[in-house]
Amino acid sequence: MTNEELLSVAEIVEKLTDRFNAQAALHRECRNEYDKLIASMNADHETKMVEHRAAFGARTEADRKIIAGLREESAKCQAELDDLYQREGIEKKRRMDVEDERDGLLTQVQDMREEIIRVNDAHGQTLVERDALRAEVDFLKTPCDPPKATHDTEAGKAVAESAVSAEPVAEEIKVWDVVEVYQATGKHTAQNDVGFIGTVGTIHLADRVAHVRSGLGMPHMVDLCDVRKVRKVTT
C-alpha cells in the first residue's frame, strides 16, 4: 500500500472517529437530558407520592376519627336501645301487674256487689219477717171484745147440735190450727160466721184476716180478732 493510500485510509478513519465522537457526545448529551428528565420525573413522582401519602394519612386519620365516632355513636345507640328495651320490659311488667290488680279488684267489687245484693235480699226478707212478727205481736196484744153467745145464731145452733164441743186455748193462731169464730167485731167477719169452727188455711197479717174452712166447704174470711184457737172435745 502506498503512502497516499495509507493517508486516505487514515483520513477516513479519522473522519469516522470524529463522527463517532460527535455521535457519542450527542448520545451523552441525550443521555444526560434523559437522566435529568428521569430524575425530574422521579422527583416529581416522589413529591406526589409524599403528598399522596400525607393526604392518605390525613384521610386515614380523619376516617379513623370518623369510624371511632360512628362506633361510639353506635355503642351509645345500642345502650339507649337496651335501656329502652329494659324500660319497656319493666313497663310491660308493671302494666301486667296493674292489669292483674285491676282484674282482682273487679272480681272483689263483683263479689262485694253480689254480697251486697244477697245481704239486701236477706235484710229485706228480715224486714218482712220483722214486720210480720210485729204485726203478729200487735195482733196478739190487741184486745178483743168479750165473746158473745153463739147459740142465738144458726151456726151456733148447728154447733150445739153436733156431738163436738170446743174448748178455748190461749195460744198463738197459726195455719192448720182449729179455731172458733166467737164474735163479729171486725169488718171482714160476718154475723152468721159466729160459732163457726174450722181449720185455718191462710193468714194475712197485713190485713189481720184468716181463711177458715171446715172440711171441703168454702173458706170463711174472718178477722183474726174474732177467732180463737180451740181444741175439739167429743161430748
Residue-level pLDDT at 158: 52
Q: How far apart are CA 209 and CA 204, in angstroms?
A: 5
**Best CA proximity match to 228, nearest among 204, 210, 205, 215:** 210
Q: Which residues contact 147 (CB under 8 A, 6 or more apart)?
A: 182, 183, 228
**Best CA proximity match to 144, nearest among 176, 170, 167, 177:** 170
Cα distances (Å, whole numbers) of residue 52 to 46, 55, 58, 86, 107: 9, 5, 9, 49, 79
pLDDT tens-place string over residues 94-103: 888 888 888 8
Residue-level pLDDT at 129: 62
Residue 182 near residue 195 (C-beta atoms within 8 A) = yes
Residue-level pLDDT at 185: 93
Q: How confident is the model at residue 4 (pLDDT cuts 50, 70, 90)?
A: confident
Residue-level pLDDT at 69: 87
Residue with cell 416522589: 46
pTM for the full predicted model: 0.31
Residue 155 near residue 196 (C-beta atoms within 8 A) = yes
Q: What number is the average pLDDT over the span 33-58?
A: 82
Q: Is the per-residue pLDDT at 229 higher than 50?
A: yes
pLDDT tens-place string over residues 84-133: 888 888 888 888 888 888 888 888 888 888 888 777 667 666 665 665 55
Q: Is the per-residue pLDDT at 68 higher than 70?
A: yes
| Buried b / exposed e along 173-191 (16+ C-beta atoms within 10 A) | beeebbbbbbbbebebbee
